[in-house]
Amino acid sequence: MKSNAFWLTGLLALVCVLGVRSAPMVYADAHEMGEEMAEESSTSGWFRTDTDILGTQIWFGASHSPSFLGSLSLDTDIYVVDTFGELDIGLGIPVVDSDSLSLSFLPMVGIGFDYAAADGPSSLIAPQLFTYLTAGSIYFESWIQGFFNSMFDEEAGDSFYTRNFLLLSLNDTLSVGPQVEVTLDLGDDGGLGRMVVGARANVGYGENNTLGVFVGFKTEKDDEETGITGRMTFVRTW
């Protein structure tokens, strides 16, 4: 009995010694593997908050660049306003990328949930296409989005939305230019739902931070709802 206890104690001691000696090697291998994975895949991210006619909205997004996609990127984001949450996924497509000119497209598809209801998805946000163009001191951005809600709720309406703005960089801090937003209602009672035309200013708020202010004149189907509107935006990238 004592002999068995002796050998068991010796075996446990040997295992502990080997474990302690191998721990740095395991850590080193894991560290090297982590570095290799970081080299193969890099991720950039961004945070955004908007306040406009819809209320205060929160966005988080990232652009993933695994080596197997080549120059393409896998882009994801979440969008939250009140009890509504949206998840989008898309493919970043760089067309031109040079010191003087940059052009890229980002087609996406999204699914939205109203968490105040228990009926599952409430909106299909597709197709979506985002265009980004930088040419010297000129920056252009375009949003094209379809919102299909009637497939989940027969009483809900469908719409098409586009946002476009062109900015001229006056210096390292301030960019200004025109912006136009259009919402088209789809279906039997379709037509122009809302249009906003105005001016936008982007102000640099330190490294990787931008504050955007948009002020425009809004027209809708109901003439009584025309007037001044706008949006405040804060974006941080990393």
pLDDT tens for 157-204 read: 999 999 999 999 999 999 999 999 999 999 888 899 999 999 999 999
Domain range annotation of the chain: 45-237
Q: Does residue 11 surpass a pLDDT of 60?
A: no
The pTM of the full predicted model, rounded to 2 decimals, is 0.81
User: Token digits for 69?
Assistant: 């996609």
Q: Which of 44, 47, 45 is nearest to 205 (CA)?
A: 47
Q: Strand, helix or coil at 235?
A: strand
Residue carrying structure tokens 């809004």: 218
Q: Does residue 110 surpass a pLDDT of 70?
A: yes
Tally of CB atoms within 10 A around 114: 18
Amino acid letter at 82? D
Q: Does residue 32 surpass a pLDDT of 80?
A: no
Q: Would the CA dihedral through 221, 222, 227, 230 be positive or negative?
A: negative
Tally of CB atoms within 10 A around 193: 17
pLDDT band at 224 (very low <50, low <70, confident <90, very high): low
Structural contact between residues 205 and 47, judged by C-beta atoms closer than 8 angstroms: no
Cα-only R_g, the chain: 26
Instruction: Give the pLDDT confidence score for residue 19 in this predicted structure.
Output: 46
- Lowest-confidence segment of 3-17, 43-57, 81-95, 222-236 by average pLDDT: 3-17
- Lowest-confidence segment of 19-23, 41-45, 52-56, 87-91 by average pLDDT: 19-23
d(C-alpha 219, C-alpha 226), whole Å: 5
d(C-alpha 197, C-alpha 186), whole Å: 21
CA distances for 61 relative to 76, 77, 81, 234, angstroms:
6, 4, 15, 14
Helix (H), strand (E) at residue 35: helix 2-40
Burial class (CB in 10 A: 0-12, 13-18, 19+), 25: exposed
- What is the CATH topology of the domain spanning 45-237? Porin (2.40.160)
Length of the chain: 238
Instruction: Give the pLDDT confidence score for residue 198 in this predicted structure.
Output: 98
d(C-alpha 205, C-alpha 169), whole Å: 15
How, if at all, do strands 191-204 and 41-52 pair? unpaired
- Lowest-confidence segment of 37-46, 58-67, 108-117, 151-160 by average pLDDT: 37-46
Share of the chain above pLDDT 90, in %: 75
pLDDT band at 118 (very low <50, low <70, confident <90, very high): confident
Q: Does residue 2 surpass a pLDDT of 90?
A: no
User: Token digits for 165?
Assistant: 């703005």
